[in-house]
């Protein structure tokens, strides 16, 4: 049975792989000329729930080769006061799977290679512009030579910013701007080469997070444009009530970050110092308010299109992978049908809603522009429990997976 998927990001590719393994024939339409290997997010932490899914898809060894272990998350304020930490090894132990950091380009390369190996067809340069239910199925319109394609079953994995599927299902696809900006980049600073500690610095309404990702097999380390070793990826963020419209090039952006974070602790300055400006990307951060209308008949949306959470949740790509696993599980038990899509939505909504809410709560704490409130926040955190409850986090993230 053929299944049409819109979008070849994490959700689209992983779902196509999972469905192909169940004997379905997925066909993907992707708007880009060639799947962008960077996408949103320079890198990702694949938490144990994502590693569980990747193992189930048969991709664990390939991922292990291009990713790196992370063992601890240490949080400080911008004056280097220790706030708290998370023992990631304890989290892994409680979950039964490891946590790995990976450049997004490498995750996409593994998924793309598997799709090729499984002979999954991807039509690039096909941006879905419209869809309609007809008496004989679903009619898709693409910008590519104004082509039309008819299908019976459609899965929309077309991301958070302008999902055509979300527009069709809800009538509105506008994501919610959450009043902070992120700039992401990749650093080759030597000090991260052997580190397995995620560093997270908080200021008043600002943040700088650094994730070591050194993996010798990483594709970026063989990239001619980025000839240097990628040792860490980072994200700088700050509160911004409005989306600024200043058009600056990546070198100017890097210079402005060096100025903005010049009084922050040494690891922040080192990360910026050893960053190639070509790796920078500036993002206005949006999510979606949870909504329960994910499917209609044989049409379903998944991934960020259905449940985009803020990067402060740390779970967006992990949840996109969980969607793939659940699709495979449900379709192994019952055929793809409107009932299967309703069941998928019912199973996935409470966890993804909780993750969206946790991302928002975390963002409010971090990107609070009130300096005095942040001073109190820092004192409370530095005097509170020094370690997060790894078991509770593991239980939450592994919920439903077995």
Ligand X SMILES: Cc1cc2nc3c(=O)[nH]c(=O)nc-3n(C[C@H](O)[C@H](O)[C@H](O)COP(=O)(O)OP(=O)(O)OC[C@H]3O[C@@H](n4cnc5c(N)ncnc54)[C@H](O)[C@@H]3O)c2cc1C
Touching ligand X, residues 112-131 (CB under 6 A): 127-128
Q: Using CB under 6 A, which of the segments 30-38, 63-71, 217-225, 386-394 binds ligand X?
A: 30-38
Which residues in the 312-341 window bind ligand X by CB under 6 A?
Answer: 314-318, 320
Distance between terminal CA atoms of the chain? 27
> Can you state the angle between helices 316-333 and 338-366, rounded to 10 degrees?
160
The helix/strand count (H/E) of the chain reads as 13, 19
Q: How far is the CB of 188 from ligand X (least distance, A)?
A: 19
Residue span binding ligand X (CB under 6 A) among the ranges 39-47, 198-206, 217-225, 335-343: 39-47
**Bridge partners of residue 208, in order along the sequence:** 201, 236
- Residue 223: both structure tokens together: 């990239």
Write down the least CB distance from residue 380 to ligand X, Å.
26
Name the residue whose CB lies closest to ligand X.
9
Q: Which is nearer to ligand X, 164 or 378 (CB)?
A: 164
From 68-76, 192-200, 247-255, 309-317, give the range in contact with ligand X by CB under 6 A. 309-317
**Does residue number 45 form part of the binding site for ligand X (CB under 6 A)?**
yes
Collect contacts of 254-258 with beta carbons under 8 A, ≥24 apart: 254/185, 254/280, 257/183
* CA atoms within 13 Å, Cβ hemisphere of 282: 18
- Under the binding rule (CB under 6 A), the answer on residue 31 touching ligand X is yes
Of the candidates 358, 341, 327, 302, the one whose C-alpha atom is nearest the C-alpha of residue 159 is 302
- Please state the closest distance from residue 319 (CB atom) to ligand X, in A: 7
156 binds ligand X (CB under 6 A): no
* Residue 354, φ and ψ in degrees, nearest 5: -65, -35
| Whole-angstrom distance, CA of residue 15 vs CA of residue 386 | 39
Contact stretch for ligand X (CB under 6 A) within 41-49, 270-278, 364-372, 381-389: 41-49
With CB under 6 A, what is the number of residues at the site for ligand X?
35
Q: For tokens 């409010």, what's the residue?
A: 364
What are the residues binding ligand X (CB under 6 A)? 6-12, 29-32, 39-41, 44-45, 127-128, 157-159, 164, 182, 184, 235, 283, 303-304, 311, 314-318, 320
């Amino acid at each position: 049975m053929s299944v049409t998927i819109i979008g070849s990001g994490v959700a689209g590719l992983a779902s196509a792989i999972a469905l192909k393994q169940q004997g379905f024939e997925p066909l993907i339409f992707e708007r880009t000329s060639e799947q962008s290997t960077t996408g949103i997010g320079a890198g990702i932490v694949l938490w144990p729930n994502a590693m569980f899914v990747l193992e189930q898809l048969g991709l664990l060894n390939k991922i292990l080769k291009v990713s790196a272990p992370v063992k601890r998350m240490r949080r400080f304020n911008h004056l280097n006061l220790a706030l708290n930490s998370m023992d990631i090894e304890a989290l892994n132990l409680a979950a039964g799977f490891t946590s790995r950091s990976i450049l997004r380009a490498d995750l996409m390369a593994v998924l793309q290679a598997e799709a090729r190996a499984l002979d999954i067809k991807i039509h690039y340069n096909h941006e879905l512009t419209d869809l309609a239910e007809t008496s004989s199925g679903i009619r898709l319109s693409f910008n590519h030579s104004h082509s039309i394609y008819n299908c019976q079953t459609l899965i929309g994995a077309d991301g958070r910013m302008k999902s055509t599927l979300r527009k069709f299902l809800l009538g509105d696809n506008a994501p919610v701007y959450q009043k902070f900006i992120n700039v992401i980049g990749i650093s080759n600073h030597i000090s991260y080469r052997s580190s397995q500690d995620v560093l997270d610095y908080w200021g008043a309404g600002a943040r700088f997070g650094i994730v070591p990702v050194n993996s010798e097999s990483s594709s970026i380390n063989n990239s001619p444009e980025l000839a240097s070793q990628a040792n860490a990826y980072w994200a700088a963020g700050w509160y911004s009530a409005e989306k600024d419209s200043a058009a600056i090039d990546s070198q100017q952006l890097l210079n402005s970050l060096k100025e903005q974070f010049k009084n922050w602790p040494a690891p922040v300055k080192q990360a910026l110092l050893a960053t190639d400006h070509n790796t920078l990307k500036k993002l206005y951060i949006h999510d979606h308010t949870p909504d329960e209308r994910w499917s209609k008949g044989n049409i379903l949306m998944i991934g960020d299109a259905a449940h985009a959470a803020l990067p402060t949740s740390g779970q967006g790509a992990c949840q996109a992978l969980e969607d793939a696993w659940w699709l495979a599980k449900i379709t192994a038990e019952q055929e793809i049908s409107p009932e299967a899509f309703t069941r998928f939505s019912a199973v996935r909504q409470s966890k993804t809603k909780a993750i969206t809410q946790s991302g928002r709560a975390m963002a409010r704490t971090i990107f609070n522009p009130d300096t005095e409130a942040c001073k109190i926040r820092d004192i409370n955190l530095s005097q509170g429990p020094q370690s997060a409850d790894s078991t509770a986090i593991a239980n939450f993230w592994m919920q439903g997976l077995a």
